[in-house]
Amino acid sequence: MKDVPTGTEPVLGVYLSTTIDLKSRYVSPGETRVRLLPPEEIEDPSAVQFALAWRPAPDDFTRYPNLKLISSIAAGVDSITNCPSLPEGVAVVRVRDEAQASRMAAFAAWHVVTHHRHMTELLANAAEGRWQRAAAPEPFHDWTVGILGYGLMGRTVARGLAALGYPVIAASRRGGEGEPGIEVVGGEGSMREVARRSKVLINLLPLTEHTRDVLNADFFAQMPKGAVLVQLGRGEHLVEDDLLEALDSGQLSAASLDVFRTEPLPEGHVFWSRPDIIITPHTASDTTPQEVIRQLADAVEEVMAGRSPANLVDPHAGY
């Protein structure tokens, strides 16, 4: 019975990531309910009850036969649900964090305002010591902001932009109620309708088999000429060559990209040399390590007590 926690001992978990040194970041000194170790410090893999994971290796989960829970460090779980060794029947949870959603809203608003108000031109003028205004801003009613992905994050982004005065239209697979300044379009065809009506399109979708490659030539062709893409979802949503063609033809006028098919974006990648693309290094919005560990420990407690944890994802749906 040595693996069964007494209720006073911390439950043992493992950090699993091929890209981030989770051990150095995801610590929470005050949290006594869980104890996390990297794989090399685990003596008995059968004692490991849960994992904190981000881009695990394909066979990472096979070493731990008694896993009961796997948590992401973020809102996205695609690197876990797509992992070939993900055990069937183990609870997978993601982080759901209002502060993270607010940071995302601020980041998205910065990009919308940057494109609307020609901020890159103004900054370039200032860098050269030139006192020169940019073109007068187009009226808000010509700058409809479209949002793909309407969970906590999408709703928070929508509210922030609506509060600034932008008309907002959001595509929601499940449909849903609009709010003042926010129209929600549901069901089949909702993404196309949002594309058709958006001057700026913000992508916040989870990555699933249905959303991979959705930002493609056909999608861009639906958008009004000269529209802008703000890509904050996952790199695999975007067909990179289709974006370049849309920019070259003027179908899109600019793009902001925070996520990429290959991260870090490789040196010499064509995106780096494009003045019409704003690149940021997958930095739009993290959850603090303390909050990640707090939510993880709550989930571990629930699972060990035989209850269903909050923020459970459906591994087959992918979110």
Question: Which residues form the interface with ligand GLV (CB under 6 A)?
Answer: 74-76
| Residue 107 and residue 232 in contact, taking contact as beta carbons nearer than 8 Å | yes
Return all residues near 19 (Cβ < 8 A) that are at least 6 apart: 54, 55, 263
For ligand GLV, the closer of residues 74 and 257 by Cβ is 74
**CB 105 to ligand GLV: min, Å:** 13
For ligand GLV, the closer of residues 91 and 313 by Cβ is 313
**CB 288 to ligand GLV: min, Å:** 12
Of the residues 234, 261, 294, 307, only one is catalytic, namely 234
**CB 42 to ligand GLV: min, Å:** 26
282 catalytic? Reply is yes
For ligand GLV, the closer of residues 75 and 90 by Cβ is 75
For ligand GLV, the closer of residues 56 and 167 by Cβ is 56
**SS3 at position 236:** helix
**CB 75 to ligand GLV: min, Å:** 3
Residues in the chain: 319
Return all residues near 218 (Cβ < 8 A) that are at least 6 apart: none
- Strand (E) positions, the chain? 11-17, 34-37, 50-54, 69-72, 91-93, 145-148, 168-172, 182-186, 200-203, 227-231, 252-257, 277-279
**Which single residue brings its beta carbon nearest to ligand GLV?**
76
Torsion region of 149: left, alpha or beta (phi above 0 gives left; psi -120 to 50 gives alpha): left
User: Which residues are catalytic, by number?
Assistant: 234, 282
